[in-house]
Amino acid sequence: MEKERKIYRNVFFTLLMLISLCILLPQELFAVKTAVSNEGTTEGIMEGEGTIEGGGILEGSLEGITEGEGTPEGEGLFDPCNIGPCIEECDDVLGESHFEQDLAGFYKTWVGLNVDEMDLDENGMIDVVQAWLLDEVLRENTHEIHCCVKQVFRHNVESVRLYADEIQSAQPVIFLLINRQQFESVLTGLVTVGEKTTIDMLLGMIDELPIEVPMPDMEQFDLSMGMYLSKIGDADRDGVCNYGEYRWNLLNGYGIEGYKKSALNDKNVGNGGGCIWCGEGDPPEGEGIFEGIPEGIIEGTIEGEGIVEGEGILEGSLEGITEGEGTPEGEGLFDPCNIEPCISECDDVLGESHFEEDLRWLYEYVGERPDTADLDTNGVIDVVQAWLLDEVLRENTHEIHCCVKQVYRHNVESTRLYADEIQSVQPLVFLLLDRAKFEGVVSGLITVGEKTTIDMLLGMIDELPIEVPMPNMEQFDLSMARYLSKIGDADRDGVCNYGEYRWNLLNGYGIEGYKQSVLNTKNVGNGGGCVWCGEGEPPEGEGIFEGIPEGIIEGEGETPVYSSLTVILTPDEAVLNGAQWQIEGDENLYNSGDKVENLYAGIYKIFFTQPVGWSTSEYIQVEIGEKEDKIIEVNYWKSGGIVINIFPDEVVKLNAKWKIQGQEEWKESGKIAIFPIGFYEIVFSNIEGYVTPPQKRVYIPHASYISLDVSYQKVKPLDKDEKRNLALQIFSTYNSCDIDGDGVLIFSEIIQKYPQVTQEFFTEIDADMNQAISMGELENYIKELSTTTCGIIFGNCKKSFFP
C-alpha cells in the first residue's frame, strides 16, 4: 500500500505555504474537522473526490455543491448560452461592494504587486477584472441583473460574517495578521461571483493545510450568481458568456477596457454574434459558433500562446543544476560504487551542525513523526540522513570529515544570504518561523545534496502563491552528495549508503545497525559488493548482491516468507477516524487487520498515527520469532488537547511551565498537549520573585481542545500589617495546609493555598531554621508582630492577639 504524500507538508516551506494560504483562509491551531458541523459539505474532500491534483486545484470538490445537492444553482446547472432573466425587485441602495479594491489590496500584501496580471485560479481571466464585474453590477441599478446579485450578495455578507466569527473564536490571532474586514469582503466576493475553479481551489487549499482548520459550511452561501458573474456566466444575457466577450476583446485589441464596455451591454455583442460555448464537455447541438473569431486563435490562446498555462511549475528545474551546468558535482555525475577519496585538510573545530535536531523540530511543528517520516520518498528516513551529516562533522576521524566540513561552512554562509533576501522581501516569514532553525534545515538539505529533496524544495518554492525569492542554486555546493546522499558512499567501502541502510533493516539490525556500519569501512553492511543505487541499469559487473538473497532488494525472485505481523487496532471508532500503524523503516501505513509478510525474526518498532480525538502510545517494540505469524492488539483511547498560555513573557523566559498533578513531565507555555478525556488538576512551576498561579481544575473534552491563560504576579515586599494578616490566615487554616498531616508546614504546602508567600517570609517564621513551620513558631511570629504594631500605634499598651 502506497502512503499518501501531500506536497504542502513535505519540507520546511510548509511554513511559508501557511503564510501564503492566508490569501484565502487563515489557519487554526488544533480545531477538529469532526468538531465542525459540516456534514455533507466536505464529504467529497474528505473521501477523495477533491484530492489535490496539479497544486491546489480541487477537481470535483464542488460537484455536490454546484450540481444540486441542497445548494443554490451554480455552474453546471445552467446553459451558458441561455441564461434565465433576473426577476427580483430590490431597494435603491448602491455601492455595497468594494471587492476589486480589497482583492487587489490582499494580493499586494500577500502575493505581489502585479495585481493587474494575476490569475491565481488559472481560469483564464484576470482575477481583479472578475471582481470588477461584481462591483459594477452593484453600484449601477440600471443593470438587468442588479437586484438578483444584490440580494445574494447581502445574504453572503452575513454568512461570511458568521464564518469569520467562527474563525475568531477558534484562532483569534488570525485577525491580528489579516484585516478581518478585508478578509470578509474578499470571501463574500468570491462566493457571490460563484466561480467554480476559485471555490474548488479555496476548499482544496483549506483541506490540504498541514494543520486543521474549520471548513466553511458551503450550504450557508448562495452560489447562484455564477450564472451571471462567473467565467461561463452571461452578465448581460446577450448569448455570449463573459469569457467569450473577454477573449474576443483581448484578441481584437480592445483589451480589458473593451471587455468592461461590452460585458454588461447586450447591444455590444463582443464576438460579433453567436454563443461561444464555455461549459464543460461538448456544446449542445447548434451551439459553439465562433462568429467573428478566427478559428485557431482562441485555441492557441487557451493552450498557451498568450495566456499563461501552468505558471510556477518547475518542470525539470534541477536538470542543469545536478547534471553539471555550472554547479558543483551532484548525483548522476558519480558512480555510487566507486567514490573518490576526500583530499581536503581542515581545522579541528567540531560539532558545527545540528541538522537532525532542527529537522526534528520542523517535522514536529508541522505534525509529522520525525522517527518515521520520509517526506522526499527516497526510501531513507529523513532524520537518519540528517544524522549522517551531523556525525561526520562531530567526529574528525572520518575520512570525509574535512571535505564535508568545508562544503557545509560554505552552504551555511550561502543560506544566511538567502535568508537575508527572504527577510527583505517577506519579513513576516521569520515572525512565524524560527530563522536559526530555518537556516539549519536548509544548510543541511543542501549539503546532503539529495536530488529528490532538492527537486522537491525548488518546485515547492516556485509553486508558492506568495512571492518568495527562488534560491540561486549556483551559490550552494552540492558536491557532498557523493558521500552523504542516498546513492553516496560515506565510508567508501563500495556499498552505497542506501545499500547499507536496506541491508541492516532487512536483516533485523535496524537503524542502529546502519549507524554502526555506514561510516565503518570494515563493516560492509551488505556482506560485500556494491549494491547499485544509481539510475537505470548498473554498469557491467556492478550490482553484485553478495550476502543478500536476490529478490529482497531488487525483487528479482521469490522472497522467502519468514514471519509476518498483523496489528488489530481498537476500538472501531478510532479506526474510522484514521488510526493506522507503521513499521520503522517502512514508509507504508497499514490499516487495522493488515498483515505484513516477509519479515525477518527480530525486534521491531511499531509506530501509530494519532488521529484527532484518539491516542495511543507513539510506538511499541514487538519481538517476532522465526516463521511466526505474530498478531497483536493495540487499544486507542479518547483524547483531547489543552493549551496553557503563561504570562508575562519574562516568566516564560525564566522557565515557567505547567504539568498535570501527579505526573513528572513539565509542559511549555503555548504548546498543545494531548491527554485522555477527563478532569485534571494543573499545577505550575515556582519562579523566584513571582507569585505562582493557584492550582487549576480543568476538563479536557473529546476531539477538541481547551485554552487556558494564567498569569504570574511579581512578588511585592510585604509590610508588617500584610505579614501579620497573612500569618493569621495561615494560622487559621493550619490543618488544611498540612497536606501530609505531619504537624508542620513546609514551603510547598503553604504556597498551594497561599501562593503570595515568599521564601523570605517563610524563613522569617521558621525560627529554628529546619525548613518547617510548627504551630508554635507561627503563634510566636504573630505575637511578636502584633505586640510591635501595638507599641507603634498605642505606645506601650499590652494589646496582643494571644493571652
Closest by CA position to 594, among listed 541, 651, 634, 548: 634
CB 149 within 8 A of CB 228: yes
Burial of 696 (0-12, 13-18, 19+ CB in 10 A): middle
Q: For 445-499, give the DSSP string.
A: HHHHT-HHHHHHHHHHHHH-SS--PPP-GGGS--TTHHHHSTT--TT-SSS-HHH
The three-state DSSP-derived secondary structure of 291-355 is CCCCCCHHHHHHCCCCCCCCCCCCCCCCHHHHCCCCCCCCCCCCCCCCCCCCCCCCCCCCCCCCH
Helices (H), 540-603: 572-576
* CA atoms of 9 and 566, how far apart (whole Å): 29
Tell me how far apart the alpha carbons of residues 385 and 389 are, in angstroms, rounded to a whole number. 7
Q: Is 780 exposed, middle or buried (0-12, 13-18, 19+ CB in 10 A)?
A: middle
Which of 583, 559, 563 lies closest to 625 in space, CA to CA? 563
Q: pLDDT under 70 in the chain at which residues?
A: 1-77, 110-113, 171-177, 205-213, 270-274, 276-333, 463-466, 524-561, 787-803
**Chain center to CA of 69:** 31
For residues 219 and 203, is the Cβ–Cβ distance under 8 A?
A: no
Angle in degrees, CA 567, 568, 569, rounded to 5: 115
Contacts of 70 (CB under 8 A, 6+ apart): 40, 219
Residue 409: count of CB within 10 angstroms of its CB? 18
pLDDT tens-place string over residues 180-232 = 888 888 889 999 998 877 777 777 766 655 445 677 888 899 999 999 999 88
pLDDT at 411: 93
Of 57, 99, 402, residue with least CA distance to 199:
57
SS3 16: helix
DSSP 137-149: HHH-TTSTTHHHH
DSSP-based three-state secondary structure for 522: coil
Using the structure block, give the residue that is written with the C-alpha cell 540522513.
385
- The grid coordinates of residue 562 equal 519468514
Name the β-bridge partners of 646: 710
DSSP-based three-state secondary structure for 663 = coil
The pLDDT tens digits of the residues spanning 11-66 come to: 333 333 433 333 333 223 223 322 323 333 333 323 333 332 333 322 333 333 33
Largest CA distance in the chain: 115
**What are the phi and psi torsion angles at 638 (to 5°)?**
-65, 140
633 and 654 Cβ atoms separated by less than 8 Å: no
The C-alpha atoms of residue 319 and residue 791 are separated, in whole angstroms, by 92
User: In this structure, is the dihedral angle defined by the CA atoms of residues 380, 381, 386 and 391, taken in order, positive or negative?
Assistant: negative
- Distance separating alpha carbons of residues 129 and 138, to the nearest angstrom: 15
Contacts of 173 (CB under 8 A, 6+ apart): none
Distance CA 346, CA 782 (A): 71
Q: What is the pLDDT of residue 493?
A: 83
Cell of 267: 447591444
Secondary element (H or E) of residue 652? helix 649-653
Helix (H) and strand (E) counts in the chain: 30, 15
The one-letter amino acid at 554:
E
Beta bridge partner(s), residue 581: 590, 608
Which grid cell is 615? 491516542
The DSSP 8-state label assigned to residue 536 in this structure reads: S
Rounded (5°) CA angle 696-702-705? 55
- Whether 444 and 353 have beta carbons less than 8 Å apart is answered as yes
Q: How far apart are CA 67 and CA 75, in angstroms?
A: 8
Neighbouring C-beta atoms of residue 477, cutoff 10 Å: 20
Strand partners, 706: 642
Q: 0.85 cut: is pTM over it?
A: no
Measured from the Cβ of residue 432, the count of other Cβ atoms closer than 10 Å reads: 11
SS3 639: strand
Q: How, if at all, do strands 595-599 and 614-615 pair?
A: unpaired
State how far the Cα of 384 lies from the Cα of 392, in Å rounded to an integer: 13
Classify 776 as helix, strand or coil.
Answer: helix
φ/ψ of 676, rounded to 5, equals: -60, 150
Per-residue pLDDT, 198:
79
